[in-house]
């Protein structure tokens, strides 16, 4: 099961080898700034009013103008655009834009309002230098690009640049709006979408190492589960193992059918906890009598499998309760909630230690159980 680890490490090493963290940040800022003058529809500031006609039909109207840094501008002005967030892997919407991206917006808007042509041309020249360095296709130059978008002081007469060379390069955006090619009145293009797509991958890998740890955590849990299945099979027999497996699967489906309509994770966890207690009580009762194994072959199989998921069930319960409490009642437990969220890999290691320790402690009990007659 460990092959995915070497693959993940190799992929991470390859991505990190392109640029240093400082170089990546510098180039990402260049791309983000330039996006302000490429394919931005005017949607940075949402300014709408809702009206109802005599029939009760709702109409949404956009504002004609807005105020930016004390200057009144038309809603359709280029100043109402924004930079593009290339500092995260996916675009989840405006609420998730990074603080850095918003600060870049501010710098560009101030430059436009103050008619700082030198600043704007530098943004364009830095971007085109990067495009050339990466051998991407474009027919832009600083001169024609500047003429295309710069319309001081109102910035309402401008044309957009196609952010692609081929139409197929439009499709990578996951949660973006569909790009309407009729809005691009210019003949100019640049492979911007391709650039953003790949720099998001590079930034995501530097910021988050979760991909590797997620794979490693999954492998730890998978090997623990497989080990417990093999161990219980060797301890009992194939017939009881298969029977337990099927009955457990049916019970879990039943628990889900009960809990899902009620949208209650705690109910699902509680039902599993109750089933585990019943099995333990039954096994303990038989071990005390020591007359015949009876149904304990099934109880023992389920118990061994439950050791693997016992701590994760408690973890899931606590995590769910903290999430509900911190979200609806108080922020006091936020630090505990995020600590649990950020340290699940460490928890998986603890779970393996718990599994091995429990089996070691129960070794004598399991030997004694093997000595009880079948009938």
Q: What is the pLDDT of residues 321-334, one digit of tens each?
A: 776 665 555 555 56
Among 52-56, 131-135, 284-288, which is the least confidently predicted range? 52-56
Question: What are the residue ranges of helices labelled H in the chain?
Answer: 3-16, 21-35, 99-113, 117-133, 142-149, 192-207, 210-235, 238-259, 265-289, 296-328, 334-342, 344-361, 363-370
What was the pLDDT predicted at 73? 79
pLDDT band at 43 (very low <50, low <70, confident <90, very high): low
**More confident position, 52 or 355:** 355
pLDDT for the residue 76: 77
What DSSP letter does each residue of 283-309 carry, written as one string? HHHHHHH-S--TTHHHHHHHHHHHHHH
When pLDDT is averaged across residues 89-105 and rounded to a whole number, the result is 57
Which pLDDT value is given to residue 142?
Answer: 96
Residue entry with tokens 């490429």: 38
Beta bridge partners of 330: none
Instruction: Give the pLDDT band of residue 7 (cuts 50, 70, 90).
Output: confident
Indicate the pLDDT class of residue 118, thresholds 50, 70 and 90.
very high
**Residue 145 — very low, low, confident or very high, per pLDDT cuts 50/70/90?**
very high
Average pLDDT, the chain: 79
Alpha-carbon span 272 to 256, nearest angstrom: 10
Q: How confident is the model over 264-293, as pLDDT tens digits?
A: 777 888 888 888 888 888 777 777 776 677
* Residues of the chain above pLDDT 90, percent: 17
pLDDT above 50 for 95: no
Task: Note the pLDDT of residue 119.
Answer: 95
Prediction pTM value: 0.58
The pLDDT, as a whole number, for residue 96 is 42
Do residues 5 and 215 touch, judged by C-beta distance below 8 A? yes
Statement: residue 153 has pLDDT above 80 = yes
Tell whether the model's pLDDT for residue 94 goes beyond 60: no
CA 98, CA 85: separation in Å to the nearest integer?
A: 7
């Amino acid at each position: 099961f460990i092959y995915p680890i070497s693959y993940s490490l190799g992929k991470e090493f390859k991505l990190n080898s392109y640029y240093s963290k400082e170089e990546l940040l510098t180039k990402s800022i260049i791309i983000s700034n330039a996006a302000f003058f490429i394919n931005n529809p005017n949607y940075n500031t949402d300014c709408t009013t809702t009206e109802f006609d005599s029939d009760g039909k709702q109409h949404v109207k956009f504002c004609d103008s807005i105020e930016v840094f004390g200057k009144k501008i038309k809603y359709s002005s280029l100043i109402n655009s924004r930079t593009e967030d290339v500092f995260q892997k996916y675009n989840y919407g405006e609420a998730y834009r990074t603080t850095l991206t918003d600060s870049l917006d501010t710098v560009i808007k101030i430059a436009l309002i103050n008619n700082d042509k030198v600043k704007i041309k530098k943004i364009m020249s830095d971007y085109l230098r990067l495009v050339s360095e990466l051998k991407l296709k474009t027919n832009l130059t600083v001169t024609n690009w500047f003429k295309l978008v710069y319309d001081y002081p109102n910035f309402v007469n401008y044309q957009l640049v196609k952010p692609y060379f081929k139409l197929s390069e439009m499709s990578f955006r996951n949660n973006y709006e569909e790009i309407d090619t009729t809005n691009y009145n210019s003949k100019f293009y640049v492979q911007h979408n391709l650039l953003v797509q790949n720099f998001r991958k590079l930034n995501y890998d530097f910021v988050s190492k979760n991909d590797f740890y997620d794979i490693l955590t999954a492998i730890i849990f998978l090997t623990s589960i497989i080990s417990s299945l093999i161990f219980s099979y060797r301890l009992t027999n194939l017939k009881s193992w298969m029977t337990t497996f099927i009955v457990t699967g049916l019970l879990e489906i039943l628990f889900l059918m009960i809990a899902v309509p009620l949208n209650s994770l705690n109910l699902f966890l509680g039902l599993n906890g109750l089933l585990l207690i019943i099995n333990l009580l039954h096994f303990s009762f038989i071990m005390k009598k020591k007359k015949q194994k009876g149904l304990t072959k099934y109880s023992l199989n389920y118990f061994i499998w439950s050791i693997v998921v016992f701590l994760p069930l408690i973890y899931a319960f606590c995590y769910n309760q903290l999430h509900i409490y911190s979200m609806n009642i108080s922020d006091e437990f936020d630090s505990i909630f995020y600590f649990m969220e950020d340290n699940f890999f460490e928890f998986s290691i603890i779970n393996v230690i718990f599994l091995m320790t429990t089996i070691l402690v129960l070794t004598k009990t399991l030997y004694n159980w093997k000595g009880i007659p079948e009938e």
